[in-house]
Structure 1
Amino acid sequence: MSLAMIKYAAIGIAVLLIATECVLRWGAGLGDPPLARLDPSTEYELVPSATYRRWGNTIAINANGMRAPEHPALPANQDRHLLLIGDSVIYGGHFLDQSETISARLGELLGDDPRLAGCTLRVLPMAVSSWGLVNQAAFLKKHGPFGASAAGIVVSAHDLYDVPGATSDILPYRTEPSWTAIGDALQAVTERYLRSSHATADSQSPAVRAQLSLAALDQIADTLMDQNVRPILIYHPTTMERSGTIRAAQSRFLEWSEARGIPFLDLGMVQMAENDYRDAIHPTATGAQRIAQTIAPVIGKSLPRCLDF
């Protein structure tokens, strides 16, 4: 091969790499993955005060490590804080824009509630992808309820058995940034392969994991009620459960709520369209809107009214 041919080949490869980088970064929305940091109590948390663009969507993390706008540690007298505790269903994943998440939609809907006229309402999503109840209880213990008056605890079937280190040590977030969109894409493919090939055997039995999860749920409820926060347990079913699969986990959570005297809202009673789910469990933008519309009138009653009528 002549020197000229090598030169042209090198130029062609460079142009191809630059074009691929541009397509992946500005077309697909790669190159700026949201980051997490390891934590001894919560296992991992979102890096605070950071904004990303992922798959064309905005992901903005506030100073408290929540995917939400900044908010004061405690509300003013005529303001209201509402906690929404959960995992990726509430976090919204990276295929939903910040404005499309359940918490954002819920804030919009409750902002139109006449009972809350005169208040500034803030919905605070205490939610990170793949967090279980043990992680959530640790975060709540560490940071407190931020002056919330009410809290929705959103659970699904897998939350009954999801405890730290139970199945995989692969985090759903990166701990280091990607310098190129190409490198980001390659790492994403590798991570997907590792997750799918990772052994699914757990060192703890389902009974032990369920016991740990329900104990953490007790801890969450106790922490909330000790600070006069009114909790409600919200069950979000998978598409398989909606198609008729036995709902053993739902029954366990219902039993727990009845034993604790905590209201229980089953989202399985709400009609969802096929395009309301992105996969077996995560809602699309329309699904998030429908869920928020269902939660709003129920949890809104738990918030103290702002003005006397």
Structure 2
Amino acid sequence: MKLKPFAILLLGLGLSFAVLELGLRLIFGFGNPPLLQADSKTGYRFQPNQKLFRFGKSIEINQYSQRNPPISAIKPPNTRRILMIGDSVLNGGVQTDQAHTITERFRGLLGGSIEVLNASTGSWGIENRIGYLREFGSFQSDVIIFQIGTSDLIQRTSLGTLIGVDPSFPNQRPWSAISELWSRYILRRFVRQALIMPAYAEARSPQDKAAWFARNSQSLKNEVRSLRTAPETKNVPIIVLYTPYRDEVLPTPQLPLYKAEFFALLNQMKLPVVDVHQAWSSIPVEQKSQYFIDEIHLSETGNQAVADLLFQQLCIQAKSTWCNP
């Protein structure tokens, strides 16, 4: 029996959609994004225990929402443990393979029996990072490193109100790879909808920026004081890794907003800082132009450069005891 033209058309469309769906899943990882969950202390964080392939990159989230393989809450014997806390710059996102995150590159330089924990989620502000520490503790780490960028100094604390609402903050798998491609990428690009609410954005007005800088500074100051008095962390070194915007180092270095005030606060708190902005301001434009994939986020080459800087300043120059194997 011959198929009617309409039936042939439907069959062809069905096969085309099936091939497209399969290709998007297997080649790009659409339909399987990293999932988030709302959380009372961190605002939101990655759902535990995820392992996936996305845009050619591997991503693994452990039971504590860290971008790491599973770990023990109790540090294993004869192991050094470094806890790094940050946002999408530290996390690396789907554009960074698990092996090329800042934390993994740093771990590779340190050698020996060591764990470098990556507690981070995109758009986390300073208070979100602090919330993670208060929820999970320090994991008996030998050192705590806060990755803080220019944008974080004036960023509002991110809330969990968009989890499961905005396609960029999914809490469950999309029903198909095609639907995710459409809603998360194509629709946003061409319709130009402002889906990100102010709770996830930097402060805008000068008064708002000043208010949030003061609030974030005080929150960090209070948390450092708390860490230095708590039995588990009172002897644990606390370090800041300061990361800049792209246009603050390229092509001509610029002084980031509130950097001077922030560094004065760090000096007052006696917190060592690894200043990526200063280090990258003096290197050739051709070299540092390879370090960014957009205005804020780093390439895998940039991640390696940050790891190299951490190792050079903390382990070679400062000879930090926790660096020793």
- Is the structural similarity TM-score above 0.5? yes
Distance 1:211 1:191, change over 3 A: farther
1:88 and 1:128 in contact (8 A); partners too: yes
Q: Are positions 1:296 and 2:311 aligned together?
A: yes
Which runs of structure 2 are paired with 1:147-226 in the superposition (5 Å)? 147-165=140-158, 169=162, 170=166, 172-189=168-185, 190=187, 193-195=192-194, 205-226=208-229
Q: Which has the higher contact order (CA 8 A, sep 6+)?
A: 1
1:224 and 1:230 in contact (8 A); partners too: no
Aligned to 1:9: 9
Q: What is the distance in 2 between the residues matched to 1:164 and 1:250?
A: 19
Q: What is the distance in 2 between the residues matched to 1:257 and 1:160?
A: 13
CA deviation profile, 1:186-237 (whole Å, cap 9, x unmatched): 1212456444786777698222211221122223323433312201111111
CA deviation profile, 1:5-64 (whole Å, cap 9, x unmatched): 110110111122112112211222211100011112211011111112211211111111
Aligned to 1:114: none
2:46 and 2:121 in contact (8 A); partners too: yes
Aligned to 2:236: 229
Picking from 299, 309, 312, the partner of 1:284 is: 299
Task: Give SS of 2:4's match.
Answer: helix
2:168 and 2:184 in contact (8 A); partners too: no
Q: What is the distance in 2 between the residues matched to 1:178 and 1:24?
A: 13
Q: Are positions 1:109 and 2:127 aligned together?
A: no
2:240 and 2:273 in contact (8 A); partners too: yes
1:85 and 1:127 in contact (8 A); partners too: yes
Aligned to 1:53: 53
Structure 1, unpaired ranges of 5+: 112-116
Task: Give SS of 1:145's match.
Answer: coil
Q: What is the distance in 2 between the residues matched to 1:191 and 1:259?
A: 44
Aligned to 2:288: 273
Deviation at 1:299, TM superposition (A): 3.4
Task: Give SS of 2:95's match.
Answer: coil
Task: Give SS of 1:233's match.
Answer: strand
Structure 2, unpaired ranges of 5+: none
Q: What is the distance in 1 between the residues matched to 2:114 and 2:226?
A: 22
1:66 and 1:124 in contact (8 A); partners too: yes
CA deviation profile, 1:237-288 (whole Å, cap 9, x unmatched): 1111113333223222211111111112211213352122111111111111
Scaled by the length of structure 2, the TM-score of the pair is 0.84
Aligned to 2:94: 94
Scaled by the length of structure 1, the TM-score of the pair is 0.88
2:102 and 2:303 in contact (8 A); partners too: yes
2:43 and 2:158 in contact (8 A); partners too: no
How many equivalent residue pairs? 298
Deviation at 1:134, TM superposition (A): 0.5
Picking from 251, 262, 276, the partner of 2:260 is: 251
Aligned alpha-carbon RMSD (Å): 2.5
Q: Are positions 1:238 and 2:245 aligned together?
A: yes
Aligned to 1:125: 118
Distance 1:225 1:43, change over 3 A: same
